[in-house]
Structure 1
């Protein structure tokens, strides 16, 4: 084997070992069928997640090794990546995940985990400081759920009207900066306790891993469904959250054309 070829092979293996994108990126916009598994599958009522044409993942520091090119070719058509928490925490894997997904030609978006012990203006500024404005990026996401594990904020649970007021401040600031109306991510408990159905004109990304969205959020429209936290995807070491887009392949193309950053 020629030296140049040996070096190329070694470089490719090293990149894969680091969780990079091996091989040339797939052409942007090409959809791949989901070849996913699940270590703890649920037998959902109809519609089952498999009925949907477009699937993706969300990832954070817990996904330490991702071969983005392999993952994309096995059905990860989009990825939401954790960027920030509160007003001073940056996910340590955000930058590498953002680069890797981009190099693989994958649609990618960033999300912010909200803390109720920090002003919404401070949190919005922190997210803006750390998440670039990139052509083709999906809208930013506001992750709204109670956090029982925070040593400083677990006990801070404002009344529903105050929760919605803080959300509106964050959403307005971030939308003005990116020129995209953010997506709202939430859980059944948080949604019902805080009246998030009052937010009109927003895309919702709903977590429900035991019931369908129609069962867990009666009457609520949704764009993305996070249907398991125990997914397995070729190219990703360990378990990962799996998500479905709530429409056809043609609807996905139309949604991306309308909502992705120019």
Structure 2
């Protein structure tokens, strides 16, 4: 076999190996978008959705076997999810349990945030417990007073939302927020934790909800969704 022939063979082998690596990577990416925890271990599973995902498709949710839906509703003092009202109306009478999420801003007084939430989220005993998303740190506000008062203000907000909803809230705590505040052991409420593909343990106590795949896609329509499971 001549040098040119050997060189061509090596090139072809390298190209085939590269193609194999690309194909394996593409499959791993596709599989990760389809992944959900085993139903035998977590029978109740659902989605978190908001304006980033758009208007919900009830048929597609049923195809994905979503047992419940959490809708992003409000943010801070004035922020409101652009599709919350339409999604809430679409779920009414669907038989799919659903609830609302408020994204908490430690830089804004609790009463103003509570006013925003109760204005947009109806007082409905059939709704799931409201969830408070805790991700932004008080240290980002640039005000030491706000940082020192964070837990007190959060407690005030929780009390006002629970008074409106008539049931305890769920604390949706990000890893960074928990590391900075240890809020999971300071305020006793059910926890919603986040960790793609691996069961989270960063709160130091059991969780109730787990965002298990934040990059999932709905098999029915190919649209993105954040997949959440319940621990009994």
Take 1:93 and 1:236, find their aligned partners in 2: how far apart are those partners? 19
Cα RMSD after superposing both structures: 2.7
Q: CA deviation at 1:193?
A: 0.8
Would you say the 8 A contact 2:196–2:214 is kept in 1? yes
More helix by share: 2
Change (3 A) 1:179 1:232: same
Report the counterpart of residue 49 of structure 1 in structure 2.
37
Aligned pair partner of 2:126 in 131, 136, 142: 136
Change (3 A) 1:110 1:87: same
Change (3 A) 1:125 1:49: same
Aligned pair partner of 2:62 in 64, 69, 72: 72
Listed as ranges, the matches of 1:190-229 within 5 Å are 190-209=177-196, 211-214=198-201, 216-217=202-203, 219-229=204-214
Would you say the 8 A contact 1:71–1:234 is kept in 2? no
Report the counterpart of residue 233 of structure 1 in structure 2.
218
Take 1:181 and 1:235, find their aligned partners in 2: how far apart are those partners? 34
Listed as ranges, the matches of 1:51-130 within 5 Å are 51-130=41-120
Change (3 A) 1:61 1:40: farther
Of the structure 1 ranges 195-204 and 178-187, higher mean CA displacement relative to structure 2 is found in 195-204
Q: CA deviation at 1:188?
A: 1.2
- Is structure 2 residue 161 aligned with structure 1 residue 171? no
Contiguous gaps of at least 5 residues in structure 2: 1-28
* Rg larger in structure: 2
Runs of 4+, deviation exceeding 6 Å: none
Number of equivalent positions? 200
Normalization by structure 2: what TM-score? 0.77
Contiguous gaps of at least 5 residues in structure 1: 1-37, 148-152, 248-262
Deviations 1:58-98 (A, max 9, x none): 00101124211331343111111000011111111001111
- SS state at 1:53 partner: coil
Take 2:187 and 2:107, find their aligned partners in 1: how far apart are those partners? 26
Select the structure with the greater relative contact order (CA < 8 A; seq sep ≥ 6): 1
Aligned pair partner of 1:244 in 215, 229, 232: 229
Change (3 A) 1:87 1:235: farther
- SS state at 2:153 partner: helix
Normalization by structure 1: what TM-score? 0.68
